[in-house]
Structure 1
Amino acid sequence: MSDTSVDRCSTAARLRRFAPLLLIAVVAALLLVESRHVNLAAIQHALASVPPTLLGVLGLGGLFAIAVMSSYDVLAARFIGLDRRVATSLRLGMLANGINNIASLSGITGSGLRVLLLTRDGAATAAAVRYAALVASASPLGLSALAWVTLIVRPAILAATPVPELLVLIALGVIALYLPAYFALATTSLLRIGPLQAIERIRPWQAAVFMAASVIDWAIAGALLWGCLAVLGADVSPAAVIAAFALAATLGMLSFLPGGLGVFDVTLVALLAAHDVNAATAVAALVLYRVAYYLVPLIVALALGANELRSTRMAETVRTHPAIQLMAWPVGRVVDLGIRVLAWLTAACGVVLLAGAAFPNLIAHTRLLHAWLPLGAVEASHMASVAVGLTLVFAARGLSLRLTRALWLALGLLIAGAAFGLLRGLDWGTSLMLTAVAGVLWLNRASFDRRGSLARQLGEWQWLATLAAALAVYFIIGQAFYPAHGASVFHFNFGAHGPRFLRGLMIALISVIVLMAWSWPRWPRPELKLPTASDLDALIEWLGRHGSNGYSHLMLLGDKTLRYSAGDRAMIGFAAIRNRLVALGDPVGDSEARRAAIADFRRFAEAAHCTPVFYQVGPDYLSDYLDHGFALFKLGEIGRVDLVNFSMKGRVNEDKRGAINRGNRLGLTFEMREPPFDGGLMGELRVVSDDWLGEKPAEKAFSLGRFDERYIQRAPVALVRDADGVLVAFASILPSYGHREEFSIDLMRHLERAPGGTMDFLFVRLMQEAQAMGYHWFNLGMAPLAGVGDTPWANTAEQLARLAFEHGNRFYNYKGLRAFKEKWHPAWQSMYLAYPPEAGLSALQLDLAALVAGGYRHIIGR
């Protein structure tokens, strides 16, 4: 690919990334402009004036509209010969359409849900994709027909929109052309080139049936909007409403925002204003329409089966099918979609409860409350509504993680919020919504099966932003109704809404502070079971049967959780830092079982909502990590001396001979000792270790051994004594189990007064000893950041690591450590970090540094 092509691709990618943000910014600006003409009190009174029976009729109308939309599913199943009952197809349509309405990318989400659920039920992938493509392609037909009618019958409507007339004309023209293009592509061989060949070929009469169903579908949706205006007393003809609806829906669909949110609403308010419908009535009608056409069907859809969307069965052919590529369908977004929608719906309940608390009670409601309830109950319910509303946002985060504790907390809050809504101001609409959502949660309670601390789950910016937005909604509505008037916050009266709002604001601020203090500093960390002494004894036996790697002996420190998989034929040792589960090295065990162990560990971590990480993995299994969705970052290189060809002869080995000769002249002696060690020797080792530690803040952890007597007793030690027999240096060994592949040093410590050259003497004698025992390699340990980012194609993180290696020796002796190991002429082997690409690498590296240091307290303390 040429440089020009690459530039074009990158430019297109940037446009795709920033276009939605730009559109949202434009919509926000339009909403801000239009909001100056909106009277919140008038909207509240307009909504309160609608009788409950008519509200029920509108809700049933919304369900009927979605049921009619589901007729596409019945037709698609018949046309492709899919053996499904009509009721089953309607149920699938209700579920997909109810969720698609609020999470849609112009029908893409609904298509994904249909493919997922059909393949889960056993349908062939090709048939499921054909089915979903038929439904998705048929849905805009009715809107296209309405666009033609609008352009021909009511062209004057173009000038009434807040969007430039030319853009509106282009948008309507694009949608209008869809109808003839659909018939040409679906029923003939015209234009069937490239990816367009994947469009399902149907007969002309089948296309006509789809068009008729779509026209009826869109006409009913427009009629529902007219009904919302009619119950509010707006005098506008159905034809004018449907024309305005068609134009607003067109712009909303082309915006790719969920439900056309903002674009549809601003356009419709402006168009209705041209028919003398005041802004307050138009906005109130839109609220009713959103509730009837979006909220009610969503709740019913989730009740039908939010837990059905938990399947992760995604055939690779689905990802690569041309029809799916044509729709640019994000396959991965449908997994757990029902649970995520439930979580956001719960958060929305919190925002609605807060908004209801900010509005003043209607006069009629205030009189009823005064007659039936004590003032204290009303005041307490108001403050409780504010606290419950904010806490519902907090609980929603736990619901998105499928935490059992979040389920019970949310259920309790929703029921309590419904009761407080009635006691606070007879807000039966909000109470009914909270009760309905509680019922849906109860029906899907089996989906919330994860254990975890709810208090540690808030720290994601989306949920913090939602919490801030909920507080902002309460504040903005209150400021609109209760400008500063000097009333005392301690003034209590049924009609004293201003002081009540101020008290609620104080409760809101206290609630946010409490929630943040409870959750934010307590970084999420799973509860893991560390091995007992008997577990460690069993591990030694297991390693003897299945083999080990260079890190296996470090599991005997007892600071890592041991996870066996693949029928106990593979083992991973890991520890936790925040919500990271960090495995040390590659899986150990039978070669064919290690791949399964990688997948098992990733599933285990994600089930606990943790990030799976493999620290210091070698080059042998990199393809397995890539196959399981991990990214790789080079940590440095390990130096390994080839013991098979190890020799003390020749000029190249002059340093080795010099180290031995110098040690002999100093009277140094070398000895290997096998455990168990008596108290006298342990005392000598302790003296050397304490002297070596000196003023160091703490011993390292996780990937390095530490001086622990029980741990030291599990491996040989190499001792170096001076001419007086005093122990001046020692090294504990990382033994191999089940083979003699690699000889490694664990702890390596010496007295400060040890003669110069003592450690070189120790290294050479250990190499000789390992060679005599039949080992193939002598591991010199890691040279951090060595060889990282040394090519012009290295990514940004690797280039920064290279800068640290070249210029960071003031903080860590990177080059000196590499030079010390280089003099033994080792073969260098790259070591990597395997991590999910979505995990922030910078934060992950900080977590790993804290894990090796023994915790953040050692980094902060240092």
Structure 2
Amino acid sequence: MLIKKNALSILKIVFPIAVLLFVIYQSKKELTNLSFKRTLMVINGLERTDLFILVLIGLLAVAAMSLYDYVLKYSLRLSITNGKVFRVSWIANSFNNVLGFGGLAGVGLRMMFYKEHTKDHKALVKGIAWLTSSMLLGLSVFSIFVAARVLPVDEVLHEKPWLWAVVIGFALILPLSLAVSKIKGRKGGDEENAEQVKNPIFAYIGASVAEWVMAGIVIYLSLFAMGIHADIRYVFGVFVIAAIGGMISLVPGGFGSFDLLFLLGMEQLGYHQEAIVTSIVLYRIVYSFIPFGLGLFFAAGDLTENTMKRLETNPRIAPAIETTNVLLVVQRAILVRILQGSLSLIIFVAGLIVLASVSLPIDRLTVIPHIPRPALLLFNGLSLSSALILLILPIELYKRTKRSYTMAITALVGGFVFSFLKGLNISAIFVLPMIIVLLVLLKKQFVREQASYTLGQMIFAAALFTVALFNYNIIAGFIWDRMKKVLRHEYFVHSDSHITHATIMAIIIVPLFFFIFTMVYHKKTKHIGEKADPERLASFLNENGGNALTHLGYLGDKRFYFSSDGNALLMFGKIARRLVVLGDPSGQRESFPLVLEEFLNEAHQKGFSVLFYQIEREDMALYHDFGYNFFKLGEEAYVDLNTFTLT
């Protein structure tokens, strides 16, 4: 049985990878003559009004998916506000559109958010399972329309006859689900439970149909924006077939599989390849990537560090899914890091925006028509420095320190102001203030005073700084060499000296910025515990007792940490950014969890890592509950001193 489970887990990884490799191979054959550079230029050339409307429709399409969660809320009677349901739905669905392996991303996120709002976790697991599977119901409805030729795609099905079997298979999902629901309804328990789950499947069918209709409208409008005025019935038919292919491929978000099938289907109907590919890229931007970015904003606001710890320490994202599922373990690791690092990712993107504003001659808004050369040099250098700081800061923002918050606000405001003075990219005018407002709203999440870093993390930060600065020089130099004859004076990249001076300023300003903030916040950090006090130690031991190592507290080289109830004591020493605790707590055993929790919380807030040295076997379970791993350093033995020798 175990071998079968492991084989299934491996198959769940191998299958989507194999599909993805096949899609890449097919795409390479199909798109040989396509220029993706021209595709992006076409999208950039769209009327801003049309693009705005398309983005709005894409956001409405993702918002429509919240209907699933409202059905779940009212069917299970979850005690949660509608606003919170909408945010949870947006996070789960936008992450699902990008990272979902057949909907597993949404399963884990919903389980994590909703389990605090119900006592019946078993019913919640079943409800989320219903919700996830019900996403197929709307697709099944449209598959019935395809099979009945209401959505005519005969050319596509004639070219790929095996698709008939897939369409028929999906068409059968709806009647089978209705039959299963009716059978379960008959076998239901008491009247109260029967009323609680009264016909949720019909509500889920409505939600699913709404989801696929909205998604189909987005892809249709994307084609329309590219000048493809196709019959909406044909477009929906091809869209249904492509969506089925993306669903069964298990590739995250259906990327590649959906796109290739839609491209081939529309080509069979006689439309130009480049316009179709541009439409697909546009669809992905407005339906997947922009909502995903907004989902990061919601995640940054709703996910506190305690919430993420509960997810990270949970051996399963949902009790309904087996722990032997290797694919789930990999996805959980990715989800945890993306969710916890959502704010870090947003700041990193802000850094890229400011860097692009410094480097690229794109649409700009200038407040100084003719910038004096010295001022231009200064603004360029400060803008570049702000961009590099924002690219490095996510390493510490991930740890939610007060220092990182102040540095991020300073760098964002500086990047906006200095870029604005020299000529700011118009898109950044809207993005950067939004990120600043988000940071201000999340200020309470930044509770740690400092953070500890490994040598590897510091090397990574230095490497990131070097690579970003190097790429800036490459990009800016390339633009200067290729476009110096056509660039307007307002664009800063109009002389080699600007690039050189900005680079020199960044090399000086960025390290100085981090050094100053580190020193300022280092002085603000208070010591943990108190100095060794032999008299207080003796009084404590007389009242509460000690252990085999407590007498070493009289040496005076360690600090003391007493629990809030005064019944437990830890002795520790400080080495760099690490606190090494000697042995187990002393005092009354019932206060050991309290003193450990208080000590670890305070150490965490002040940016220290905590190690425990020479603990006893009896208390290993206690440390395990706090997430510790164990390392055997040596042995302790009793010897007969009369016969013992060093030889």
TM category, shorter: 0.7 to 0.9
Cα pair 1:129 1:318 within 8 Å, conserved: no
Q: What SS does the corresponding residue of 2:637 show, helix, strand or coil?
A: strand
Cα pair 1:98 1:301 within 8 Å, conserved: no
- The separation in 1 between residues aligned to 2:278 and 2:97, in whole angstroms, is 23
Partner residue of 1:440? 438
The amino acid across from 2:617 in the alignment is P
Cα pair 1:114 1:128 within 8 Å, conserved: no
Partner residue of 1:289? 286
- The separation in 1 between residues aligned to 2:231 and 2:455, in whole angstroms, is 51
Displacement of 1:139 in angstroms is 2.4
- The separation in 2 between residues aligned to 1:466 and 1:19, in whole angstroms, is 35
How many residues are paired up? Answer: 623
- The separation in 2 between residues aligned to 1:342 and 1:544, in whole angstroms, is 50
Partner residue of 1:540? 538
CA 1:568–1:483 in 2, change beyond 3 Å: closer, same or farther? same
Displacement of 1:579 in angstroms is 5.2
The amino acid across from 1:549 in the alignment is N
Q: What SS does the corresponding residue of 1:614 show, helix, strand or coil?
A: strand
- The separation in 2 between residues aligned to 1:93 and 1:272, in whole angstroms, is 32
Q: What SS does the corresponding residue of 2:562 show, helix, strand or coil?
A: strand
Q: What SS does the corresponding residue of 2:348 show, helix, strand or coil?
A: helix
Q: Structure 1 residue 61 and structure 2 residue 57: aligned?
A: yes
Cα distance per residue 1:674-728 (max 9 Å; x no partner): xxxxxxxxxxxxxxxxxxxxxxxxxxxxxxxxxxxxxxxxxxxxxxxxxxxxxxx
Higher percent of residues as strand: 1
CA 1:291–1:180 in 2, change beyond 3 Å: closer, same or farther? closer
- The separation in 2 between residues aligned to 1:215 and 1:250, in whole angstroms, is 14
Partner residue of 1:563? 561
Higher percent of residues as helix: 2
Cα pair 1:379 1:500 within 8 Å, conserved: no
Cα pair 2:95 2:106 within 8 Å, conserved: yes
Cα pair 1:392 1:410 within 8 Å, conserved: yes
- The separation in 2 between residues aligned to 1:138 and 1:637, in whole angstroms, is 58
CA 1:409–1:231 in 2, change beyond 3 Å: closer, same or farther? farther
Q: Structure 1 residue 344 and structure 2 residue 345: aligned?
A: yes
Partner residue of 2:201? 207
Corresponding residue to 1:108 among 104, 108, 115: 104
The amino acid across from 1:618 in the alignment is E
Displacement of 1:459 in angstroms is 0.9
CA 1:110–1:167 in 2, change beyond 3 Å: closer, same or farther? same
Q: Structure 1 residue 136 and structure 2 residue 132: aligned?
A: yes
The amino acid across from 1:213 in the alignment is A
Q: Which moved more, 1:67-76 or 1:251-260?
A: 251-260
Cα distance per residue 1:748-791 (max 9 Å; x no partner): xxxxxxxxxxxx7xxxxxxxxxxxxxxxxxxxxxxxxxxxxxxx
Q: What SS does the corresponding residue of 2:584 show, helix, strand or coil?
A: coil
CA 1:80–1:344 in 2, change beyond 3 Å: closer, same or farther? same
Cα distance per residue 1:47-68 (max 9 Å; x no partner): 24422x4444334323322332
The amino acid across from 1:585 in the alignment is G
Partner residue of 1:188? 183
Displacement of 1:80 in angstroms is 3.4
- The separation in 2 between residues aligned to 1:472 and 1:150, in whole angstroms, is 53
Cα pair 1:125 1:315 within 8 Å, conserved: no
Partner residue of 1:227? 221
Cα distance per residue 1:490-542 (max 9 Å; x no partner): x99456858679928983996699669969xx9x9996737665634422332
Q: What SS does the corresponding residue of 2:447 show, helix, strand or coil?
A: coil
Q: Structure 1 residue 70 and structure 2 residue 66: aligned?
A: yes
CA 1:345–1:495 in 2, change beyond 3 Å: closer, same or farther? closer
Cα pair 2:380 2:502 within 8 Å, conserved: no
Cα pair 1:404 1:449 within 8 Å, conserved: yes
Mapping 1:619-658, distance limit 5 Å: 619-641=617-639, 655=643
Cα distance per residue 1:119-142 (max 9 Å; x no partner): 434554344434433332222322
Cα pair 2:370 2:490 within 8 Å, conserved: no
Q: Structure 1 residue 50 and structure 2 residue 47: aligned?
A: yes
- The separation in 1 between residues aligned to 2:234 and 2:501, in whole angstroms, is 43
- The separation in 1 between residues aligned to 2:84 and 2:637, in whole angstroms, is 63
Partner residue of 1:217? 211
Cα pair 2:561 2:571 within 8 Å, conserved: yes
Q: Structure 1 residue 323 and structure 2 residue 317: aligned?
A: no
Partner residue of 1:37? 34
The amino acid across from 1:349 in the alignment is A
Cα pair 1:303 1:443 within 8 Å, conserved: no
Instruction: Flag structure 1 segments of 5+ consecutive residues without an equivalent.
Output: 193-199, 647-652, 657-759, 761-819, 824-862
CA 1:418–1:334 in 2, change beyond 3 Å: closer, same or farther? same
Cα pair 1:492 1:500 within 8 Å, conserved: no
Instruction: Flag structure 2 segments of 5+ consecutive residues without an equivalent.
Output: 188-193
Mapping 1:700-715, distance limit 5 Å: none
Displacement of 1:255 in angstroms is 5.7
The amino acid across from 1:114 in the alignment is R
Identity of aligned residues (%): 23
CA 1:636–1:210 in 2, change beyond 3 Å: closer, same or farther? same
Mapping 1:620-769, distance limit 5 Å: 620-641=618-639, 655=643
Mapping 1:834-853, distance limit 5 Å: none
Partner residue of 1:673? none
Mapping 1:775-786, distance limit 5 Å: none
- The separation in 2 between residues aligned to 1:608 and 1:345, in whole angstroms, is 25
Cα pair 1:187 1:204 within 8 Å, conserved: no
Displacement of 1:346 in angstroms is 2.0
CA 1:492–1:78 in 2, change beyond 3 Å: closer, same or farther? closer
Cα distance per residue 1:541-577 (max 9 Å; x no partner): 3233333333323334444443222622222223455
Bigger RCO of structures 1 and 2 (CA < 8 A, at least 6 apart): 2
Q: What SS does the corresponding residue of 2:561 show, helix, strand or coil?
A: strand
Cα pair 1:390 1:511 within 8 Å, conserved: no
Q: What SS does the corresponding residue of 1:573 show, helix, strand or coil?
A: strand
Partner residue of 1:585? 583
Mapping 1:451-600, distance limit 5 Å: 451-453=449-451, 459=457, 482=479, 493-494=489-490, 503=499, 507=503, 529=527, 535-565=533-563, 567-577=565-575, 580-600=578-598
Cα pair 2:384 2:506 within 8 Å, conserved: no
Cα distance per residue 1:426-465 (max 9 Å; x no partner): 5222331222222222222211221115988981899889
- Using the size of structure 1 for normalisation, the TM-score is 0.59
Displacement of 1:386 in angstroms is 4.1
Displacement of 1:261 in angstroms is 5.1
Displacement of 1:638 in angstroms is 0.7
Mapping 1:214-363, distance limit 5 Å: 214-253=208-247, 259-260=253-254, 275-278=271-274, 281-282=278-279, 285-286=282-283, 288-290=285-287, 294-295=291-292, 297-298=294-295, 301-302=298-299, 305-307=302-304, 310=307, 323-325=320-322, 339-355=340-356, 357-361=358-362
The structure whose Rg is larger is: 1
- The separation in 2 between residues aligned to 1:17 and 1:515, in whole angstroms, is 43
Partner residue of 2:191? none
Displacement of 1:358 in angstroms is 4.5
CA 1:429–1:486 in 2, change beyond 3 Å: closer, same or farther? closer
Cα pair 1:478 1:501 within 8 Å, conserved: no
Partner residue of 1:798? none
Partner residue of 1:429? 427
Cα pair 2:585 2:592 within 8 Å, conserved: yes
- The separation in 1 between residues aligned to 2:559 and 2:158, in whole angstroms, is 68
- The separation in 1 between residues aligned to 2:500 and 2:35, in whole angstroms, is 24
